Structure formats: structure tokens, C-alpha cells
Structure 1
Amino acid sequence: MKEIVEYTDYRKFIQDYYDERKRCSAFTWREFARKAGFTSPIYLKYVCEGKKNLSIGSAGSVAGAMGLVGFEYDYFVLMVSYAHAKNDEAKRSAFEERCALAMAHKVRVLGNEEFDYFKSWKNPVIRELAAHMPGAKPLEIARACKPNISAAEVSETLDFLVKANLLKKDKSGNYYQTDKSISMGNVDAVPVAARDMQRQMGEFAVKALDLPLSERDMSGLTMGITRRAYERIKKELADCRRRIVAIASEDDETEQVYRLNLQLFPVSERIDNRVDRSENAEVFLNSNKNVRDED
């Protein structure tokens, strides 16, 4: 069984614990549940299958039933806290507590660097600028950022990017990207942090409306669509992003750092097209798939 810090899903950890015990003995879900203090013999089985949730209060009992003590006990409870946090702030708090706990015990949490990278707009912007401003001092990079930031912020960001292996620094002090592009991947904590960056970049997009048209391109569509069309549009946007990454990668040089936001979101509640809208009980069918408004 893997080390506990290699898990982000407490259900997977419980399932792996059970499977390992089962391979070595006649261990049963009933025995496991009894040790954890549950009256239902299959409660923990349902938890692993996603049919039931483990409360914060019972997380300690399950950790004890698995023989977890000290750091591992606390880490398991924080995994449960993260999974069932009600909002992004609570999720961030639980994840950062897990990272701090692991760091105190000199253990690396998978996803820690990825989480931190997507927390701030400065990380991707400085990652691009540093690689294309050879020999530049932190103050020069700071002045190239929009909005301007301090040289100290640039230095701190550069240190993080090198430590996270997102940039490499040579003997001459120049920075190189370890990868051409970075994806969020499937680390479960990253989307929480990414929402912070998306909010920041969204605010920058609003301010960018004041830029001359020669420096920015913005347009939008308002349209009525089905769920099926929504999924097809999502795929089209994903394909478009890949093509844009390929275009951006064709040139080795950079003249300016740009941010591209692709946003597709609802501006109405779901509409039930089967609602009776006439005295004759005729079924109303919304067959209009045309774009209603373009800007």
C-alpha cells in the first residue's frame, strides 16, 4: 500500500487498506465497520463506493480502526475535511493544512506545487517573461508585468518556479522553461486554486476593455443551446485551445505575454421545454437553435 501522502481521495485510501488486509487475512467489511464504531456492516463499503460520506466526526474513528496514529491520523482527517468542504475557502484551508503537516514531517504532498502555481497570475506571467528576458534583473521583469509588481515579488516567484521545476536557472543567471506549456492535469486540488487565477484573469480582462482595438480582441455570443450542444461546444473549445498552443509554440521568441480567456457559462436557469403552455395542452417545443445576440 502506498504512503498516505500519495493519496488525495480518502475513499481510495480506505479501499486500498481494506484490499490489503483482505489479501492477508479473513478481514471483512463487517469487522472493519465494527472497529470503526458503525452499526451498519457495509457502511464503509458504501463510503468507498461513493454512496455514503464519511463525516469529520467519524473520520477519527475510521483512522483509529486502520491503526493510524500521529501524523498519519491527522492527515487522514484533513483528507476527509478537504473532500467535504462546503466552499473554496474551506477546501484551500484543508489542503494547505495537509501540506503544512506533511512539510513539518519532511514529506512532499502530491499536488502541492501545482496548487501553488495556479493560485496567482504572477506565476504563469513571470514564467513566460523570465524565459524570454535573458539577463534581466527582477526589477526589469517587474516593470514588464501588467499590472506592475515589485522586484521582491518577482524574486519570490522565480524562487518558487525554480523550486517547483517549472523554470531552470543556468550559471549565467538565465532562466529556461522546463516545459513549453503547463496543464492543470487531474490533481484534485488544482481546480480549486485555478478558480482563483481565473477570477484574477477575469478582472484583468474587464480592465483590458479600455485598451485600443489594435492590442486586444474580444467578442461574445449569447445563444440558446441543449446539453448535447454544450458538450460539443466544450470539445470544440478544447480542440481550439490545443491548436492555439501549437501556433504559439511555432516561434521560439516572445515579444509580449498575452492571456487568452475562453469562457462558456449559463446566463439563465434550465428551461423545461415540455411545459404545457396552451389551453389545449399542446406541448411547447423550443426548436430555435439560432444565436440570439452577438457582441
Structure 2
Amino acid sequence: MQNRQPEFSKGKEISMGSLVPPVLSDYMNYRQFLADFYLFKRKASKGSLRAYTYAVFSAAANIKSPNYLKMIIEGKRNLSDDMIGKFGKALGFMKDQTEEFRLLVQFTQAMDPAERNMYLKKLSEHRVAGKLKSGEIDRKTWEKVPNWVAWIIYAMIDQDGVSFDTATLKNLLRGKASEDEIDNALSTLISSGDLRRDEVTGELKKARSLTESPEEIPVALVRKLQSQLMYLGLESLYQDQPTEREFGTLTLSLTKSEFEEIKFKLRQMRKALHKDNSIARMKDKGERVYQLNIQLFPVTNAVETAVKAPAMKSALDIQVETPIVETTPVEAPVMMAEAPAVPQAAAPAAPVSAKEQKNERSNVSSLAATAASAADLFR
């Protein structure tokens, strides 16, 4: 049975007046890339003596079947490892591009969530390495931006009773980071000027905000940091007791204006929480460091043939900059009370007995194991 990968996102549109070839790094689905590549070649060869066809591609790839590319694009066939190399040749790829194409194929065709995460991580790292090599991403900027370990340690400055030696930090971080990662994170925070030691007491203190110059942080690094923090949340779902965390989900059908309004409100809420917590930490320190992740994303595509009446824009329907994850210690998980609304498809929350809470760790399903293995990929 062949894997027909659903198309959640498309690559860049190729306009009729443009003959710019599609760029592989713009795509998260190799079938869409191949479709756009074929369309580009068809347009480029229009009016020539020999028009570009599926058979021409097969000949360049040394494949006997003249319609093999068409079957791949339509999801009727999957690409084998050997065929990936042949396709790379027909696409005119160099070695690095062929490897990127291989990872994109593996990511697109993978069905298991943990396997998809593994290939996504490899694909992202490969693309970042290419951008660092080409100078598209400044290496100095990349290296000085803290990873998730440094992000949490920075927040621990506001946690009461913390001793910033490696062994203590490893224990407080619940073994999620190695000693080398902790040492490197501390060194980076101090050398970059984010933390400083008091000359008299030797105590570590915050010297500046980690997001002092967010415009200098590469988008690829923002995505990497956010994904790491999201996987920490996935681990918490299975490792922490319900009394120590707050998880909830809500599935909604929204218009574009409603989506923009909710997004605006979520950003305002995040900023307000950060401000209130910063003021509170000026008075006294917190007890633990908590991570608050906010996500709102599409799970379906819009129906292109749907015709809607024009809607008035909300006063809150404005564009704001892409946020940088803000990690601050709070004294307790944030609880949000929802106002009565029209019933929507929401994940049910069943009551948890004391016995169930006690045995929660031992009753982790195979899904928990998959989630944990996926989370390990981002450490």
C-alpha cells in the first residue's frame, strides 16, 4: 500500500509571467516540489522544438517508465532510496541538494509520528547547516542565541534557593539536560552578557533580557527553540501529575477575522502575564520555573470553492510581529476561566481519582513512549 501524503501546505506559487525555478528549501512536501518543478520546466520549454514531458524526465533519470514522475506526484508510488538518487540527477541537484531531497522524501513518506519527527529534525538541521555555510544565517548570531537549556537556566535566576553548580542544576532540571549541556549553557549566558556574577557575593544575576534584540534572531533558530519547549510540554503530559500542570485543548471552526482576533488576544495575554510576573519577581523569588506554551494552528485547508460574503474587519484584526518565546518563572500554573460560549468540539476532560493520579506514571501507554522518544530528538 502506497503512502498518499496529504498536502497541508504548498510551495511558492509559480506565476505565468515568471520562470524562476522552485527552491527545494521552500517545501515541506517533495511531491509538491516535483509538481512545481515539472510545471516550471513545461513553461520554460514552451515554444521550443522539444517540449518538456514526463518521458524527458524519465530519460534524464534513467528510468524506463515514461510516466514514473507523474505517478510519484499523484501519490500513486513512493520513492525508494535508489530512486531518490536518480531523481536528484534528473533534477540537476548537487550532492548537498540530493541529500536534502532525500530527507524531504523520507519526512513526507514517513507515517509514524516519532519517525516523522526524526526526519523533520534531520531536515531542519541540514537546511540550517546549508544556510550557515552560505552565510544566509550569521554564524556568530546563531551561536550566541541560547538554546532551551540556557533559556530555562536564565529563568532560574528568579527561582528561590538555587545553587548554580552543575550537579544541582542537573537535578533541578530533572535530568533532562546533560552536564555538558548545562556547562555550555552557563558559559554562553555569562560570556554573552546575559548573566553576570556579583563581584562581592559571587551570585549570578540577570544582566539583560534574552530577547533584547529579537530582530537579530534567525527564524530557523526561533523554530528550533519553540519546538524544543513544545516537546517539554509533551513530556510533562505523561510525566507530571495533573495537579502540577494545566493542559487543555479546543478545536474550533473560525473565519479569517476570528482567527486574527483570537491570535491578537493570545499575544496580549502572553505579554500581560510576562509583565505581571516580572513585577512579582522584583518583590520576591518564585518557587519553581514553569513553561507556558501557546499554540493556535490550522488542521484543515480552506475549501477553495467556498464563497463567503465579505465580512467587516474587527478592530483587533491587525498584523503584529512574530513573537519570540518568553520563558519566565511563575508561582503556579496559569488557570484560564472560559466564558460561556456556543458549544464547540473540545477534547473532554475526565475526572481523575487519587488512585489514578498515583498510578499515572506506571500506566503510560505506547503513545507516551512514542512521545518521549520524539522529545529526545530535540535535546
TM-score (norm 2): 0.45
Which of the residues 227, 234, 239 maps onto 2:256? 227
Structure 1 partner of 2:153: 126
Structure 1 partner of 2:4: none
Which of the residues 211, 219, 223 maps onto 1:182? 211
Structure 1 partner of 2:298: 266
Is 1:244 equivalent to 2:273 in the alignment? yes
Structure 1 regions of 5+ residues with no counterpart? 1-50, 57-80, 104-108, 276-282
Structure 2 partner of 1:97: 133
In 2, Cα distance between equivalents of 1:267 and 1:243: 28
Structure 1 partner of 2:345: 293
CA positional deviation for 1:180 = 5.1
CA positional deviation for 1:188 = 5.8
**What is the correspondence of 1:144-163 to structure 2 with a 5 Å cutoff?**
144-163=172-191
In 1, Cα distance between equivalents of 2:232 and 2:195: 25
Which of the residues 203, 206, 220 maps onto 1:192? 220
Structure 2 regions of 5+ residues with no counterpart? 1-17, 24-96, 105-122, 311-340, 348-379
In 1, Cα distance between equivalents of 2:154 and 2:245: 22
CA positional deviation for 1:123 = 1.4
**Deviates further, 180-189 or 263-272:** 180-189
CA positional deviation for 1:95 = 4.0
On the 8 A contact 1:224/1:291 being kept in 2, the answer is: no
**What is the correspondence of 1:1-295 to structure 2 with a 5 Å cutoff?**
88-97=124-133, 109=140, 111-113=141-143, 116-117=145-146, 120-130=147-157, 132=159, 133=161, 135-171=163-199, 172-179=201-208, 182=211, 185-187=214-216, 189=218, 191-210=219-238, 211-252=240-281, 253-272=285-304, 274=306, 290=342, 292-295=344-347
In 2, Cα distance between equivalents of 1:238 and 1:223: 18
Highest relative contact order (Cα 8 Å, sep 6+), 1 or 2? 2
On the 8 A contact 1:224/1:290 being kept in 2, the answer is: no
On the 8 A contact 1:122/1:157 being kept in 2, the answer is: yes
Letter in 2 for 1:149: A
TM-score (norm 1): 0.56
Q: CA RMSD in A?
A: 3.7
In 2, Cα distance between equivalents of 1:187 and 1:127: 19
Aligned partner of residue 168 in structure 1, secondary structure: strand
Letter in 2 for 1:88: S
Question: Would the alpha carbon gap of residues 200 and 102 (structure 1) be closer, same or farther in structure 2, given more than 3 Å must change?
Answer: closer
In 1, Cα distance between equivalents of 2:228 and 2:291: 11
In 2, Cα distance between equivalents of 1:187 and 1:53: 29
CA positional deviation for 1:93 = 1.0
How many pairs are equivalent?
Answer: 198
In 1, Cα distance between equivalents of 2:269 and 2:245: 18
Q: Which whole-Å deviations, capped at 9, do the CAs of 1:61-102 have from their partners, x for residues lacking one?
A: xxxxxxxxxxxxxxxxxxxx9xxx996334411343367x98
Q: Which whole-Å deviations, capped at 9, do the CAs of 1:89-138 have from their partners, x for residues lacking one?
A: 34411343367x988xxxxx5x3355x32xx3101111122454564322
On the 8 A contact 2:158/2:286 being kept in 1, the answer is: no
In 1, Cα distance between equivalents of 2:241 and 2:181: 29
On the 8 A contact 2:193/2:207 being kept in 1, the answer is: yes
In 2, Cα distance between equivalents of 1:249 and 1:265: 28
Letter in 1 for 2:133: E
CA positional deviation for 1:196 = 1.6
In 1, Cα distance between equivalents of 2:220 and 2:296: 18
Q: Matched residues, percent identical? A: 19
On the 8 A contact 2:132/2:138 being kept in 1, the answer is: no
Letter in 2 for 1:151: E
